[in-house]
Amino acid sequence: MNNHVCNSSSEFDDFKNGSTEALQILFSRYHEVLFFYLLKLSDDRMVAASLVTDAFMTIWDRREHIEDEIHF
């Protein structure tokens, strides 16, 4: 089983339905990978951190349009 995918479809459904706890789980799962990817592109820790924050804010705002976690 892929460790990056939610343990259950209900967990991702909770996120889509506005659960901030589910958002925290997804943030914990993905922020480090995204941060280091953006750090490699920007070579600036503050820029990378800001972009991660912006990305998760956008994901939160558009969560109803994400079909499943694979598209996350």
The answer to pTM > 0.85 is no
Mean pLDDT by 10 residues, the chain (72 residues): 52 91 92 98 98 96 86 68
DSSP H/E element including 56: helix 45-61
42/6 Cα distance (integer angstroms): 29
- In sequence order, which residues have a C-beta less than 8 Å from that of residue 56 and are 6 or more positions away? 23, 27, 31
Cα separation of 38 and 44, whole Å? 9
The pLDDT of residue 8 is 56
Assign residue 14 a region: left if phi > 0, alpha if psi is -120 to 50, beta otherwise? alpha
Q: Which pLDDT belongs to residue 5?
A: 46
